[in-house]
Copies of this chain bind each other. A is one copy, B any other.
Amino acid sequence: MREFVVVGHDAPTTPTFSLDDLPGDAGRLDVLCRCVTSAFLLSHGIREDVRVHLVLGDEFTITFSGGELRRLNPDERSTAALIRTALANRDDAVGAVAVESSPGVSITRRDFAGLLQSLARDGTVIQLAADGDPAIARAPPSDPVFVLSDHRPFTDAECDTLAGVTADRLSLSPRMLHADQAITIAHHYLDTDGYKRG
């Protein structure tokens, strides 16, 4: 399993935003939408062995599960609509209960720290960071949980949380990338077994 956690710092936690203005009215939800599609979509199909967790407002986590996911299209707007539908179910997400809002998409009332502690039990938590160790020098782990931030850096509190569960801080590229580009390259790194030649 490959998991990606993306923290949305300005993202909405209610379903009242407009699909016509994802960068503005919806708090850069376009960034998170591109992360979801980068994580799942291949040219002819979907990566079933992937889960993506979007942390919204450090209050809700929306999880996309590749094995069950339906109706995911490549464009931002339709992905934003799936997120909006999940947020429309937020009041049913009580305690640890995950509410499935569409096939393979669910919402849970879970913050960043709670999510990471849960994922660290079965996976290897890796923080993607421009100043991390170059990934190219490492063999990829078998069940990676890549943690990324949206268009903002991690807060100090998030860094503290990460420090408690993170096996490695890795850099995928010599350039500073957008989160969705980093996800594409993380997949490529795993698809090629760390860019192995021959």
Contacts A23-B73, A30-B74, A76-B76 aside, 18 further interface pairs with beta carbons under 8 A come to A23-B75, A41-B178, A42-B178, A43-B151, A43-B175, A43-B176, A43-B177, A44-B176, A45-B176, A74-B178, A76-B77, A136-B192, A136-B197, A137-B198, A174-B192, A184-B184, A185-B185, A188-B188
Residues of B within 8 A of A136 (CB): 192, 195, 197
**B198 pairs with A195, CB closer than 8 A:** no
| Contacts from A to B (Cβ < 8 Å) | 20, 22-23, 30-31, 34, 38, 41-45, 73-78, 130, 136-137, 151, 172-178, 181, 184-185, 187-188, 191-192, 195, 197-198
Q: A75, A77, A187 — which one has the most chain B CB atoms within 10 A of its CB?
A: A75
* 6 tightest Cβ-Cβ pairs between the two chains A and B: A43-B176, A195-B195, A30-B75, A184-B184, A181-B184, A23-B75
Q: Which of B43, B177, B195 contacts A178 (CB 8 A)?
A: B43
A138, chain B: closest CB distance, angstroms: 10
A129, chain B: closest CB distance, angstroms: 12
Q: Which of B30, B185, B197 contacts A137 (CB 8 A)?
A: B197
A28, chain B: closest CB distance, angstroms: 9
Residues of B within 8 A of A77 (CB): 20, 22, 76-77
A81, chain B: closest CB distance, angstroms: 12
